[in-house]
Structure 1
Amino acid sequence: MTPNTQTSSGLLNSKPAPVDRAKELAATLLSERSEASGALVARRLHEVLRALDADDRHGFERYLATEFQPDEVALRTAAERYLATTTAEAAAALARAADPPRQELLRRMNMAPGGTGALIAMRSELTAHLHDEPELKLLDADLRHLFASWFNRGFLELRRIDWQSSAAVLEKLIAYEAVHEIKGWDDLRRRLAPDRRCFAFFHPALAGEPLIFVEVALVQGLATAMPPLLALEPDEAAARAQAARADTAIFYSISNCQDGLRGISFGNFLIKQVVEELEAEFPQLKRFSTLSPVPGFRRWLGQRLANGGDPDAALLPQLESGGWWNDPAQSEKLRAPLLRLCARYLTRQPSIRIDPVARFHLGNGARLERINWLGNATPRAIQESFGVMVNYLYDHDSIEDNHEAFVRDRTIVRSPDVDALLETRTKVAENG
């Protein structure tokens, strides 16, 4: 035996590095024809991936993104055939040829127990690298495409969460709350009191893991500030009485729980189904509204006023002075101009990037109902929007028309109160 042969034999008998073993299993999984054997290979692949460190997992993700591309010859042939015949059969053949083998590999990886959760975690990890490594966007797009199918509305289960729900689920609410921090068990218990409701979507592949949840307050009239909604209720009987008197349901927090499912729409289905649940339980409810943050307002206003040429630029020094919101005289001077400017921000031309929360609710058919001064004075709210909050109203009779108007030509349906703020802006400009 020659030295070269010995060296080659030694390499063949050595144990591959864990990331190379993962790549071998991925290639084997894609070539496997037996479903039972494929499930076993998928299980082994996930076991290896769980043992990898962050760098090796990232290396495997790059491998998935750069390999397993469509066959160029087959794709060109299918494209030429479609261009020549433009038949439905040719279009289907072109779609099959364009489908990257990577998607089939991901489908097979999903066969293993816990496969769905592992793929969601993989997509979450990709987020930090997409800007610097654009080739990873192919893997991200494939995962998003598959998740849109696997997590369609037909597979989702709506559940009410209350104080009798499992401790594991309740702990997840505390951990995942993204809008108004839940400050311990007493705060959570208040949010699940008789005059409050919490609903979440679950999926069979993620047992006990909420995908998204919404918190609702049952009140009288349109709530315009957060403190009353989060204040502790001293008496459960009083909370039950409040629920019986309520004529309005306020959706005050919607939190997505799985970062790996970003871009998969659940919120529109959630709100509409929760409205149906609440109408059945509380027939006296007449209004369904949000009390929402305006996360992009401060950034937009800062950019608008920074050049100093805007008539409202004189506001900047006042807004930058710390604690103005705690000074009634100072905050009152800022009230009218900031509400006016926020109305302008939320009703800008559709060609300009719209506030993300506004886009979500307006796209779901809500109406821009009211802009509220200092609805939330927490540090985060001051930083994002100077404490301004917004009511988006879900009116059963106009939801579809509002949705169509927004999707079709970006029409922002708004109330007379918001129009009045815009008219005030016009008068200010005219008086110059």
Structure 2
Amino acid sequence: MPQTSVINDLLNAITDNRLFGERRKPKRMSRKDLTGLIDALLSGLGEASSIERAAEFLRAYRDLDSAGRTFVFRTLAADYGPEPDRLSEAARDYVERPDARTATALREAAEPRRIEVFRRLNQVTGGTQALVAMRCELLERLANHPDLWTVDDDLRRMFEEWFNRGFLLLREIDWQTSAAILEKIIRYEAVHAIRGWDDLRLRIDVPDRRLFGFFHPRLGDEPLIFVEVALTADIPGAIGPILAHERRPIDPSQATTAVFYSISNCQEGLRGISFGAFLIKQVATDLAAELPNLKSFVTLSPVPGFARWLREEVARPTSAVDEPTRTLLSGFDVGWLEDPARAKAAEAALMPLAAHYLIEAKDERGRPVDPVARFHLGNGARLEQVNFAADRSERGLGTAHGVMVNYRYVLADVEKNHEAFANDGKVAAASAVARLARSVKVAPREASDAVPQLPPPAASSRETDDVSA
């Protein structure tokens, strides 16, 4: 279902009830009409009048077309920031008398008025859902309307407060969970598609498979993020056996490894709000308490930026990618894995380059280029193992030439690894992976290196809080 249709259905559900009255015919809204509606919302002092006016705003927003909704966001950005005169006066008072009272007055004066608009919309039953849905549409507009970043920044900061770890509810999702939630799990899974009810059952209704999700009281049965877990006898090197329909489940008491093989963010409107780190650590802690035989907690993760990075490296005149590897890469086609000689040559070329990419390739802020690596390493995991031909799906081959990675969460080392990564940019990596990375000698970039601008990957992982694909 298209995202806009989902948002409209949500707003209809919120606003089409007895409290908010019957749906009215769509109409065009002038700037004067909109300003009057917002000012009325802000002027309501009583709780009942505030809720009524918030409902009126949501009804009006629902009835607008795409251009009208853009108009709402631009009005909020342009006209409902801090009041300049009040802010200037508060700033002067603080400079003259820097005490607690003037500091409080300055903080209050610096708050954009649209923040109070969002607070009042949140009072409506279903208002939190409406705001999350509205941010979906706001995010879609940022590329063409950069002036809206202030509105997005305000919403994101509010969501960080409303959706902090203290409000999140961890639930295990199994075959007895309501069909409404299970349908959403099928729809939201974005790393390894769930192909219907039978496929879902094999992921949640067998002894060695688990699924956990975070929920929020204000969003009801809407999952925020969920993780799929396989209980195995060793660290897996490919996704095929994990997802295979024809396999023999093992007794959980015999498992030594918990594999987080798919992590999916569900709410696009909450992009940038961190849930994944809390979820993995909580699930690992709970599973360790339930199954003391578990010794390893690892992921089986995609490497969504590897193929793109490699194409850019090949395009650089000073790249250390040698001529045989260039020839090999240019010959990749649908059947290269089925040719033993080509597959062997590809493994010898790709494994060191993948290790180098994960450890050494950095963005302009000095962070790992790969979003999934950035997520897990930032959470304190260790880069444990790089796996060749681990994902033979069309997406896996297209975005990473089939490479997948195991990140290992050693609970006693998570905090230490996180601090080293956050403070010094140090990547925790197993010695074998570090040796692979060191074997690649990439020449430094020069100003004259002209790298063609490549299109984004065909698909990217939803396995991070930063990346939603």
Query: Is the TM-score greater than 0.5?
Result: yes
Matched, 1:181 2:193: yes
> Residues 19 and 60 of structure 1 are in contact (CA less than 8 Å); yes or no, is this contact kept in structure 2?
no
Matched, 1:387 2:372: no
Moved more, 319-328 or 370-379: 319-328
Q: Partners of 1:368 and 1:86 in 2: how far apart?
A: 49
Query: Could you tell me which amino acid in structure 1 is paired with residue 395 of structure 2?
Result: R
Structure 2 CA distance for partners of 1:86 and 1:72, relative to 1, 3 Å: same
Query: For residue 228 of structure 1, what is the aligned residue in structure 2?
Result: 241
SS at match of 2:385: strand
Q: Partners of 1:424 and 1:318 in 2: how far apart?
A: 19
Query: Could you tell me which amino acid in structure 1 is paired with residue 350 of structure 2?
Result: L
Q: Partners of 1:374 and 1:141 in 2: how far apart?
A: 40
Query: For residue 243 of structure 1, what is the aligned residue in structure 2?
Result: 252
Structure 2 CA distance for partners of 1:398 and 1:353, relative to 1, 3 Å: closer
Structure 2 CA distance for partners of 1:308 and 1:339, relative to 1, 3 Å: same
Offset at 1:90? 2.6
SS at match of 1:251: strand
Which structure carries more helix by proportion?
A: 1
**Offset from partner CA, 1:16-51 (integer Å, 9 cap, x none):** 945345543222111111112101111222122222
**Offset from partner CA, 1:380-423 (integer Å, 9 cap, x none):** 11111111111100001111100110111111011111122124
Query: For residue 166 of structure 2, what is the aligned residue in structure 1?
Result: 154
Query: Could you tell me which amino acid in structure 1 is paired with residue 393 of structure 2?
Result: T
Offset at 1:318? 2.1
Query: For residue 79 of structure 1, what is the aligned residue in structure 2?
Result: 91
**Percent of paired sites with the same residue:** 49
Q: Partners of 2:215 and 2:29 in 1: how far apart?
A: 33
Query: Could you tell me which amino acid in structure 2 is paired with residue 265 of structure 1?
Result: S
Q: Partners of 1:218 and 1:408 in 2: how far apart?
A: 34
Query: Could you tell me which amino acid in structure 2 is paired with residue 123 of structure 1?
Result: R
Structure 2 CA distance for partners of 1:325 and 1:233, relative to 1, 3 Å: closer
SS at match of 1:255: strand
Offset at 1:89? 3.0
Q: Partners of 1:126 and 1:313 in 2: how far apart?
A: 45
TM-score for the superposition, normalised by structure 1: 0.90
Moved more, 315-324 or 115-124: 315-324
* Structure 1: segments with no counterpart, 5+ residues: 1-14, 428-432
Aligned partner (choices 353, 373, 382) of residue 388 of structure 2 = 373
SS at match of 2:301: coil
Q: Partners of 1:16 and 1:70 in 2: how far apart?
A: 31
Q: Partners of 1:277 and 1:19 in 2: how far apart?
A: 52
Matched, 1:411 2:423: no
Q: Partners of 1:84 and 1:304 in 2: how far apart?
A: 56
Query: For residue 131 of structure 1, what is the aligned residue in structure 2?
Result: 143
* Structure 2: segments with no counterpart, 5+ residues: 1-24, 443-469
Offset at 1:335? 0.7
Query: Could you tell me which amino acid in structure 2 is paired with residue 47 of structure 1?
Result: R
**Offset from partner CA, 1:168-224 (integer Å, 9 cap, x none):** 111111111111111111111111122111000011111110000000000011011
Aligned partner (choices 319, 341, 355) of residue 343 of structure 1 = 355
Query: Could you tell me which amino acid in structure 1 is paired with residue 398 of structure 2?
Result: Q
Offset at 1:226? 0.2
> Residues 295 and 384 of structure 1 are in contact (CA less than 8 Å); yes or no, is this contact kept in structure 2?
yes
Query: Could you tell me which amino acid in structure 2 is paired with residue 120 of structure 1?
Result: V
Matched, 1:330 2:342: yes
Matched, 1:211 2:224: yes
**Offset from partner CA, 1:271-295 (integer Å, 9 cap, x none):** 1111122112211100000011111
Q: Partners of 1:244 and 1:357 in 2: how far apart?
A: 30
Matched, 1:273 2:286: no
